[in-house]
Structure 1
Amino acid sequence: MHEDEPDIDAGLVRRLIAAQFPQWAGLPVAEVDSAGTSNAIYRLGDALTVRLPRRSSAAQDVETEHRWLPRLGPLLPVAVPVPVERGEPGAHYPWAWSVHRWIDGTNPAPGAADSALLADDLARFATALHRVDPAGAPPSYRSEPLAARDAATRSAVAALHGEVDADAALALWDDALRAPARPGAGVWIHADLQSGNLLTSGGRLAAVIDFGCAGVGDPAVDLLAAWYVLPASARVRFRDGLGADEAMWRRGRGWALSVALMELSYYRDTNPVMVANARHVIGELLADGAPAS
């Protein structure tokens, strides 16, 4: 998926484990079916996972996750990954990597119909995260103001000529840019509440499993879940649970649109699951019509 991505397979995982954590060398290794773009995930035995960054920018997240996930976990209402060990470069693999605890669950289908409780759970998770003291926290991967994404978003629309309704997409984007900025300092945000980063059990949110984008930023970024995960029938419930005002909702729409456009443009030849999700999100956003008030 990326030009700078190293070759990663189960054999590499076995070599790294044998060299650095020989106590687990006898455990079976199996690739986890995932459309994730930042990390390759392998199950190690029944209780562990191995996460190997696919590119150097993702490798920088290893230290952040090992520092902050143990602090955030006890403050959140659902499970998050628990780092067990940090691996070092080796076996021709160039970056730090992680061993985490395995968490059971299933990724929710985007736009799942049975979603009222999931909307409540997502709002509860995001609210709890936004209330965590941000002192000392790093900036989110998506910490910039929407205006800083203007050129890239318009470029993505142009690159997708004939694939998306450019006029409708740009009208929505322009409205998001006009939305008032959030006053005050940023808060802790997850910044990537997509279906692939969530685990559910019995229709309820069981875990949030990828914090590579997390840090301090505008809480409107976490409204991505409204279009990436939930159907239209559950969005008001999610919005009300978060207490999002009109300006925050409009910024959230802009974030969801910008992220989906860039995903569709970048991954359309390499990641069919990501592309299908991005098309779904863009369709949902444009179907919403005028901004909510």
Structure 2
Amino acid sequence: MAVVRDAIDENLVRALIAAQFPRWDGAPVERWPSGGTVNAMFRLGDDMVVRLPLVASGAKDVALEQRWLPRIAPRLPTSVPEVLGAGQPGEGYPWPWSVYRWLPGEHPPLGRSVPLAEDLAEFVLAMRRLPLTGAPKAYRGGPLATLDTETRSAIESLREIPEENVDCDAVLALWEKASRAPDGEEPPVWLHADLMPGNLLVDGDRLAAVIDFGCMGAGDPACDLFPAWNLLPADAREVFREKLGADDATWTRGRARTLSQALIALPYYRTTNQAMAGNARYVIGEVLEEAA
């Protein structure tokens, strides 16, 4: 069943709430602006948010969060989404959806300070300490080689977009060097696996919450190093690395994974999602500067 994005609106949310959660029927519903591409977000009253997948793949993420967030939340040092209601298909909408408690905070601007780096490291370490029993496989976290074809294709696409001014020879050299290195022997750990600025909330310089756990699961520890290059400046990056105890091999894989994600995102989002494209440009610049 195809879903027209424009049909996912306040009227649909009101109908779903009235049918499945009558205790919240009549609460104000307001669409919440988001730079995400997988889910639509709606404020529900003052202290709740409704999250509805826009695509079928997002439905799997909702089910994952509904199962695992209540289990891992008590073990984490920062706030994460609390599932208040597990919605089911209905009113012409075909996928599961969720009602969460609203988490206050703002998305961090790029180049944040050392305190945020320390908080992010504490969060990543807490994720790594979660027991792996029954953990799903993370959306990211497999061998670096699985990214090779798509990364190279993205670099070639960027060669055809000179206005982006990406040094494609330099990023290709970095990618080839990283992809030739051994993957390392670290055992898999629990990952958030999508630590983008849009999935973080801050209060001033401190981490207030981590959201959107749809990619979580077990995988390569390097996958949760993303904030080192997609958010933090060089001094905070070193604090983040030191607190995590990342060795050279893990750091190299983390940088390569973050670069790959940015190279793929930039030609894809450059005209459709300025937040994603802007972050990709930031990553490419930070990686090239660090490697210089």
State TM-score, norm by structure 2: 0.94
Residue number in structure 2 paired with 1:128 = 126
Residue number in structure 2 paired with 1:148 = 146
Residue number in structure 1 paired with 2:22 = 22
The answer for unaligned runs of 5 or more in structure 1 is: none
Q: Secondary structure at the match of 1:181?
A: coil
Aligned residues: 286
Residue number in structure 1 paired with 2:278 = 276
Residue number in structure 2 paired with 1:49 = 49
Q: CA deviation at 1:64?
A: 1.1
Residue number in structure 1 paired with 2:222 = 220
Matches within 5 A, 1:166-177: 166-177=168-179
Q: CA deviation at 1:92?
A: 2.1
One-letter identity of the residue aligned with 1:188: W
One-letter identity of the residue aligned with 1:134: L
1:6/1:93 contact within 8 Å kept:
no
One-letter identity of the residue aligned with 1:58: G
Residue number in structure 2 paired with 1:34 = 34
Residue number in structure 2 paired with 1:94 = 94
Q: CA deviation at 1:91?
A: 2.1
Residue number in structure 1 paired with 2:205 = 203
Q: CA deviation at 1:5?
A: 6.1
Distance in 2, matches of 1:135 and 1:179, equals: 30
Runs of 4+ in 1 over 4 A off after TM superposition: none
Structure 2 residue corresponding to 1:250, chosen from 240, 249, 252? 252
Residue number in structure 2 paired with 1:188 = 190
Q: CA deviation at 1:248?
A: 0.5
Q: Secondary structure at the match of 1:288?
A: helix
The worse-fitting range, judged by mean Cα deviation, of 172-181 and 254-263 is: 172-181
Q: Does 1:178 align with 2:180?
A: yes
Q: CA deviation at 1:184?
A: 4.6
Matches within 5 A, 1:232-243: 232-243=234-245
Please report the RMSD computed on the Cα atoms of aligned residues, expressed in angstroms: 1.4
1:168/1:286 contact within 8 Å kept:
yes
Residue number in structure 1 paired with 2:158 = 160
- 1:33-64 CA distance string (max 9 Å, x none): 21012211111011111001111111111111
Q: Secondary structure at the match of 1:42?
A: strand
Matches within 5 A, 1:56-71: 56-71=56-71
- 1:154-193 CA distance string (max 9 Å, x none): 0011111123211111111112213332315311011111
